[in-house]
Structure 1
Amino acid sequence: MKFDLKKDGKRLFVVCLASVIMALNIKSFVRTGGLYPGGATGLALLIQRSASMFLHVAIPYSVVNIILNAIPVYIGFRFIGKKFTLYSCVTILLTGFLTDIIPGYVITYDTLLISIFGGLINGFVISMCLIVNATTGGTDFIAIFLSQKKGIDSWNLIFGLNAVILAIAGILFGWDKALYSIIFQYTSTQVLHLLYTKYQQQTLFIVTNRAWDVYEAISKVSHHGATIMNGEGPYEHEERQVVYSVVSRSESKEVIEAIQKTDSHAFINAVKTEHLAGKFYFKPNE
């Protein structure tokens, strides 16, 4: 693994900041509201509360969280990327340690407000980590693994898996907190969809007279290919070329800017891609 002082220093700062915010969110929102946020965090809290209530044993959050992340960390190291997994481990360990030692500060006792704003913060923190190629651990590893292997945006699938954790929490501790936790998890997932778009695709239709140059601009920025089709402008009955390409939403803005620099007269239509089958290039995680 090669390290760049500026780039990796920025990543380290972001994951440490994210760990602090995540720990504060757990102590000030999640635990105050008695919520179960899903993933390894929610399962760790569920195990903690079950041990405390039924066995009268206090288990440190960090210990449970590390154990639950053992298999996801292996998946990340084996299939996603070594540096990606390293920085994720920093987040997991630091979040667990801070959650155990920092004091909780109650902002509100309103469970609905806790569910909404706690979910917003949770989704924001996860997005912070993913943008710099790291995760908060747990099901994030699984979601990225599925996204890379299957070419799908799998966060909604993870939301479904988290519903199982919430169902168990509802059976053990009451359905009101479990139902509020669904609001928390849904809010978090929507923020994640909004801020992290690497595994979402966008289809570009570009009408141009410089099709080959446009293709090279797309390829240079995104490493994606394109299909060039011939067409006709019905108003002036002049021949036009249409470049068809699919790119990641996270890079579409940069691609469109490159196209406009190449051909300032190009007509560009960007359409959200709902489903994609076949090979699609994803920039590998380090």
Structure 2
Amino acid sequence: MGKKNNKILINIKRVIFVILGAFIVSVGLEIFLIPNNIIDGGITGISIMASYLTNLPLGVFIFVLNLPFFIMGYKQIGKTFAILTLIAVICLSISVSFLHPIPGITHDVLLATVFGGIIIGVGIGIIIRNGGSLDGTEIVAIMLDKKTAFSIGEIVMFFNLFILGGSAILFGWDRAMYSLIAYFIAFKTIDITVEGLDEAKAVFIVSDKTTEISEAIMQRLGRSLTLLDGKGAYKGEDINVIYVVVTRLEIAKLKNIVNGFDEDALITISSVEATGKKCKKRAIH
């Protein structure tokens, strides 16, 4: 019963955050982007243009146009993902209708673009982080990713180029370019929201001064690390390699430490997911 109750609580938490994320997206749309004729990408962008042309409520188009993709997602991707996506779409549809009568708080197009993109990115990031989605094109991209050589991001970008091109015809090229800026800001904000500012980064350091560098990293960053034995392929000589996991915010400081001892040191950095109590105690905290 304990595990079952815990699973129920986790699912309730996910639903609450998905609803919150959808409401945050609606704020970015109705308070910042839409009053300035700036659109979002995907089905939401198509819905904004359709609402503008027909004077019908935006929420109706968001729900109706996403419905076929929801059905596809339910059959192809999974029940939990589809249900959370449906909840997000319904909440967004209701929220934009509720907020529509409220006037935008700024008519400075650049401010609206930047803050609208950030707010939308945070909202979508919260939804994705909790297992859902908010746009039918993302579902199509996930499905096509398994059948084509293109990544999910490349497929979504392909769709959005056409959608943003349509906004240029409807609202003018300057608004289309602002829409593209808002899209990129939202894209980067989604990444930060999903991964977090403290995203784990795995760092390999190859240097002749591994002893000094290792001691400095442990003292100045408070990180445990691992020393690996290696062999140079060209000369066949033995080399020492430092392996350490740090956060995104510590990368610059780590580089300064290494360069302070050896400006010719080789540093490679990659994103990783670090889990487990031992890993967290030794590498992340």
- In the superposition, the TM-score normalised over structure 1's length comes to 0.66
Question: In the alignment, is the contact (CA less than 8 A) between 1:65 and 1:92 conserved in 2?
Answer: yes
Structure 1: gaps (5+ residues): 52-57, 208-228, 267-286
Contact 2:138 2:152 in 1 (8 A): no
Report the counterpart of residue 193 of structure 1 in structure 2.
191
Q: For 2:186, what is the secondary structure of its paired residue?
A: helix
State the match for 1:133 in structure 2.
131
User: Once the 2 structures are TM-superposed, how far is the Cα of residue 94 of structure 1 from its aligned partner?
Assistant: 1.3
Q: Which amino acid aligns with 1:138?
A: G
- For the pair 1:8 / 2:5, whether they are aligned, the reply is no
Instruction: Tell me if the contact between 1:155 and 1:189 (Cα under 8 Å) persists in the aligned partners.
Output: no
Of the three residues 129, 143, 146, the one matched with 1:145 is: 143
* % same residue: 26
Paired residue for 1:33?
Answer: 36
User: Which residue, 6, 21, 26 being the options, matches 1:23?
Assistant: 26
Query: Corresponding residue for 2:108?
Result: 110
Query: Following the alignment from structure 1 to structure 2, what is the Cα–Cα distance between the partners of residues 161 and 201?
Result: 31
2:50 to 47, 59, 64: 47
Deviation, structure 1 residue 204: 7.8
8 A Cα contact 2:85 2:134, kept in partner:
yes
For residues 31 and 280 of structure 2, the distance between their equivalents in structure 1, rounded to whole angstroms, comes to: 47
Structure 1 residues 22 and 87: alpha-carbon distance in aligned structure 2, compared to 1, 3 A threshold: same
Deviation at 1:122, TM superposition (A): 1.0
Give yes or no for the alignment of 1:76 onto 2:73: yes
Alignment of 1:220-239 (within 5 A): 231=230
**How has the CA–CA distance of structure 1 residues 74 and 202 changed in structure 2, closer, same or farther, with 3 Å as cutoff?**
farther
Measure the CA separation in 2 of the matches of 1:44 and 1:175.
19
Equivalenced residues, count:
226
The CA distance in 2 between the partners of 1:47 and 1:163, in whole Å, is: 17
Question: Higher helix fraction: Structure 1 or Structure 2?
Answer: 2
Q: Within 2, Cα distance between the matches of 1:7 and 1:165?
A: 36
The TM-score normalised by the length of structure 2 is 0.67
Deviation string, structure 1 residues 13-41 (Cα, Å, up to 9, x no partner): 10111122122221101111111111111
Q: 2 CA distance for matches of 1:258 and 1:105? A: 52
Partner residue of 1:179?
177
Partner in structure 1 of residue 274 of structure 2: 253
Q: Is the 8 A contact 1:230 1:242 kept in 2?
A: no
Instruction: Give the corresponding residue for 2:249.
Output: none
SS at match of 1:74: helix
Using the TM superposition, give the Cα deviation of residue 118 of structure 1 relative to its aligned residue in structure 2, in angstroms.
Answer: 0.6
**Aligned-pair CA distance for 1:194:** 3.0
From the superposition, tell whether residues 240 and 181 of structure 1 become closer, same or farther in structure 2 (CA, over 3 Å). closer
Call closer, same or farther: CA 1:123–1:146 in 2, change over 3 Å. farther
Distance 1:201 1:146, change over 3 A: farther
SS of 1:108 mapped into structure 2: coil
